[in-house]
Structure 1
Amino acid sequence: MTDTPSPAFTVRDATDADMDAVTDIYAHHVRHGTGSYEYEPPPVEEMLRRRDMVLEQGLPWLVAATDDGRLLGYAYAALFHGRIGWRFTVEDSVYIAPDAQGQGVGKALLTALIDRCTAAGKRQMIGVVGDADNAGSIALHRACGFEEVGMIKAGGRKFGRWIDTVYMQRALGAGATTGVEE
């Protein structure tokens, strides 16, 4: 048995030109997975709006792309909640193209996202894993230093079944060990 080599890729900021591929990757997960509780994939215009909202918050939206420009996945961080007391806490989202899963793309994206959010002064990152049966996402978060901190049982519904949502968390930078300017 021969191993198929993983494609070489670079993690970088998403551009407008990437958003058609981002939309396609997300559409696959909406149609076939429980990582998102959306039922209908949004059009590219909506994905552009979502990315612009993230960027306006001063947060990263990243892609993993091969040298020939093929997108393997994307990740972004958004504020966990809108109230001012939550301003140091972000939520991550990571989506990988189906044919690129299990090749280190998710770990590279999440690691870069952690680094960028730490540099931006964020102190906590929350992984909201849609579907407690999503072993890949849970393993990815654990590999990047997250620990499970809670679960919402039967909080989502998709594909005719109730879905548990796992909350995972990791400190960024100094975490809660030091104060910040109020």
Structure 2
Amino acid sequence: MSATLTPGSTLTGIRPASEADMTAITAIYAHHVRHGSASFETRVPDVVEMTRRRTALLEGGFPYVVVEDDGVVLGYAYAGAYRPRAAYSNTVEDSIYLRSDATGRGLGSHLLTALIGACEARGFRQMIAVVGDSANIPSIRVHERQGFRRIGTLEAVGYKHGRWLDIVLLQRRLGEGTSSAPRARDA
């Protein structure tokens, strides 16, 4: 995985996240909370909280994956409920986080591809990306290359690191999209 990866290339380092990955996942997320604007959290959750979040997602039937190289977790991605009300139960929101030294290698794109496939296999119909900070062009571009379209910007809805931050919303149809009624879900 040391070479630049391009969409469509084969990547064998993506797999479901395990409890053993949670220390690495927590460290990756901690960096984004402390230094980035992709997450609007301002306090770093500990490994117990991150494990609780992963467990809740898995119990809800959502995918949670990691990308690794030689046993080292370089990033992770998951989908979760877009909103808690029943009418939203066929729509998911994606999240992707990479180690700071693993960016620019195509890993985010590969994680997103895996996440889209896993969500389609579970029968979800829409995926929403809520990109923190309109200046987060790499995240916006990764989503656009995967068929997401911009649907709006919420201006100055977060304040972190001494500045106001926007949220860019992007959306992508999954599977049959709106061409048929979805399967029933417990919600």
User: TM range, normalised to the smaller chain?
Assistant: over 0.9
Q: Deviations over 1:59-87 (max 9, x none)?
A: 11100011x21011000000101111000
Aligned-residue offset at 1:9: 5.4
Aligned residues of 2:81 and 2:91 also touching (Cα < 8 A): yes
Residue 151 (structure 1) aligns with: 153
Is 1:5 the counterpart of 2:3 in the alignment? yes
User: Which letter maps to 2:164?
Assistant: W
Is contact 2:77–2:112 with CA below 8 Å preserved after alignment? yes
| Ranges in structure 2 where 5+ consecutive residues have no aligned partner | 6-10
Identity %: 49
Match of 1:59 among 50, 62, 65: 62
Is the Cα contact below 8 Å between 2:74 and 2:98 reproduced in 1?
yes
Candidates 168, 171, 178, aligned match of 1:176: 178
2:41 corresponds, among 25, 38, 52, to 38
User: Helix, strand or coil: the match of 1:51?
Assistant: helix
Task: Give matches, 1:11-160, under 5 Å.
Answer: 11-66=14-69, 68-160=70-162
Output the CA distance in 2 between the equivalents of 1:159 and 1:80. Answer: 26
Give, in angstroms, the shift of residue 6 of structure 1. Answer: 4.3
Rounded Cα–Cα distance in structure 1 between residues aligned with 2:59 and 2:3: 37
Q: Normalising to structure 2: TM-score of the pair?
A: 0.92
| Structure 1 unaligned regions, length at least 5 | none
Listed one character per residue, the Cα deviations across residues 15-55 of structure 1 (whole Å, up to 9, x for unaligned) are: 01100000000001111100001112110000000001110
Task: Tell me the matched-pair count.
Answer: 178
**Deviation (angstroms), 1:137:** 0.4
Moved over 2 A (4+): 4-9
CA distance in 2, matches of 1:112, 1:13: 10
Distance in 1, Cα, partners of 2:100 & 2:170: 23
Compute the TM-score of the two structures, normalised by the length of structure 1.
0.94
